[in-house]
Amino acid sequence: MTLEEFTAKLNSSTFWKEFTYSETRFSPRPKQQVELADGIVLIGSLAYVFQLKERTGATEDPEAEGKWFRNKVLGKATKQIRDTLGYLSAHQSIQLTNTQGHSLEVRGAELSDIKKVIVFLATDALPRDCRETQFYISDTAGFMHVIAAQDYLGVLDTLRVPNDIRLYFEYRKSVLPRLREAGTVVEEPDIMVAFLSEFDLPVPGSRERLRAFVQDLEAFDLTSILGDLLAHIQNPDPNHDYYRILLEFARSSRSVWREFKLRLVKSLDACRAGNPCRPFRFTVSDNDCTFMIAPLDPDWPSAGPDGERMRTNALLMFTEAAKYAAKSTKGVGLLVSKDGDHICLDWCLLDYRWEKDAKIENLLATTDLFRDVKERMLDSFFFRTD
């Protein structure tokens, strides 16, 4: 497997197929075809542009390997990223097909945050000064991340959640120039430990603390659902509206995923047991979004035309009420129902400005629809302690 194939597979599983583009060739003019980048991830107004450099014809000569790094990684790759930014600026839109097979228009003017990432795969003979090169600053393109392939794998494998990966690269960009100015050399795991621990700066040799990091996948991981969300949607909209649901999860950190999964598991348990259970809700103020998860009442129909109408109406009612109660702009709703041995997940997303609504006010005032809520600060990352 080549570095390009490896990175494409890694990105599509982490950032989902809907947001990942590994085939980026387009025609800026007739009879001309160019590659926008080796890989692109687009999450709303956030973009990652990747250039990938893999050493072929490797030698055991440090001088030759260092020359390759300077020419291909610091030379050609940085120029290619500048070209990518140029293409995005010069063209109003560029049509690309993502890994899910959907064709979308990429508009550079709508990308407010572009992270430039160069991933390289070198040999053991690469000189130390090259291996310790972790970023490059261009006069025209700004800060570019330079990261070894094994370290990029480590970042995605440790963080798992798209928004936490975004925050990590922002942290990386903020600390690396300061470390260089201070003459301090750290390895990628040292940066990861500092990020997870909310340190002001990474500390050399702190990578051992990663052994105590709690990777509580069972508690937060939603990849099995979100990574194949299209398969869970009956009669999907041809305009791919479900992307907007994925986008709200992509903008949320591990703590939000953990809270969502906790309520999802409780809803699934209630649904399978046939027990009535009030809807769950919580709001992420930073994203102005309320999440609602509810098991369908076991006395309500769930199958056939009547069941479909009931599920649709219940999902909209619960989601609207939860969104309204929180006075948030967006609401993501999930209704869990059971048809025989089959579990059905119905999703919706509401996105409109909050306005006073007498009907919903009356519903909330006259029914005990939701549990009480209280404000809490949530930690995303935990370490084992003695």
Other beta carbons less than 10 A from residue 376's beta carbon: 8
Of the options 1.10.3470, 3.40.109, 1.10.10, 3.40.91, the CATH number for the domain spanning 3-214: 3.40.91
Q: Which of 162, 220, 167 is nearest to 198 (CA)?
A: 167
CA distances in angstroms from 130 to 55, 181, 319, listed in the order given: 13, 17, 53
> What's the whole-number mean pLDDT along residues 304-318?
94
End-to-end CA distance of the chain: 41
Cα separation, 213 vs 385, in Å, equals 10
- Determine how β-strand 289-295 pairs with β-strand 280-284: antiparallel
As to burial, measured by CB atoms within 10 angstroms (0-12 exposed, 13-18 middle, 19+ buried), residue 386 is: exposed
Residues 151 and 176 sit within 8 Å (Cβ to Cβ) = no
Q: Is the pLDDT of residue 239 over 70?
A: no
Q: Which of 343, 373, 319 is nearest to 265 (CA)?
A: 343
Phi, psi for 16 (deg, rounded to 5): 75, 150
Q: Provide the percentage of residues in the chain whose pLDDT is more than 70.
A: 97
Q: Which of 132, 79, 126, 85 is nearest to 109 (CA)?
A: 85
pLDDT in tens, 183-202: 999 999 999 999 999 999 99
Domain locations in the chain as residue ranges: 3-214, 219-366
DSSP 94-150: EEEE-TTS-EEEE-GGG-SEEEEEEEEE--TTS-HHHHT--EEEETTTEEEEEEEHH
> What's the whole-number mean pLDDT along residues 17-41?
91
The CA radius of gyration of the chain, in Å to the nearest whole number, is 24
Other beta carbons less than 10 A from residue 191's beta carbon: 26
Look up residue 225 and give its amino acid: I
Q: Which helix (DSSP H) or strand (DSSP E) does residue 41 occupy?
A: strand 39-43
pLDDT in tens, 247-278: 999 999 999 999 999 999 999 999 999 999 99
Give the residue carrying structure tokens 């009669």: 235
Cα separation, 380 vs 170, in Å, equals 17
Q: Is the pLDDT of residue 58 over 90?
A: no
Largest Cα–Cα separation, the chain: 78
Q: Which of 226, 228, 261 is nearest to 246 (CA)?
A: 226
pLDDT in tens, 75-106: 999 999 999 999 999 999 999 999 999 999 99
